[in-house]
Amino acid sequence: MTRSTYGGYRIGVDIGGTFTDLILVDDRSGALTVGKVLTTPSDPSQAVADVLRDALQQAGAPPDQVQHVIHGTTLVTNAIIERKGARTALLTTRGFRDAYEIA
């Protein structure tokens, strides 16, 4: 892994249906800190806060040194596939071809 020129920390977090995973990258040293907690379906932000706090503490990283956060999630995709959540519609103009059809 090459070191970045940012000089702080970068975070990648993925909120899945079961687990919330996080990686913390120290751009100065290249050190990686990895965390995993159970996702909290009633409030997914709680799992993010928990795993982030743990990773920052484990790495000895001050929160104000975090330069970038990258976030990914399957929660919306899972809700669509499982047909959970509020009924919604997508209105488009004629000829709009870039929408998925979900039957």
What confidence tens digit (pLDDT) does each residue in 10-69 have?
999 999 989 999 999 999 999 999 999 999 989 999 999 999 999 999 999 999 999 999
Q: What is the DSSP string of 54-87?
A: HHHHHHT--GGGEEEEEEEESHHHHHHHTT-S--
CATH number of the CATH domain containing 64: 3.30.420.40
Paired strand residues for 25: 10, 32
Considering the domain boundaries, does residue 100 fall inside one?
no
- Dihedral in degrees, nearest 10, Cα atoms 94, 97, 102, 103: 60
Domain count for the chain, please give it: 1
Whole-number pLDDT of residue 5: 60
Q: Kindly tell me if the per-residue pLDDT of 4 is higher than 60.
A: no
Considering the domain boundaries, does residue 101 fall inside one?
no
Q: What is the torsional sign of CA 11, 23, 44, 81?
A: positive
Considering the domain boundaries, does residue 61 fall inside one?
yes
What range does the domain containing 70 cover?
A: 9-81
Considering the domain boundaries, does residue 91 fall inside one?
no
Query: pTM above the 0.75 mark?
Result: no
Considering the domain boundaries, does residue 44 fall inside one?
yes
Considering the domain boundaries, does residue 1 fall inside one?
no
Q: Which residue has the tokens 């907690």?
A: 37
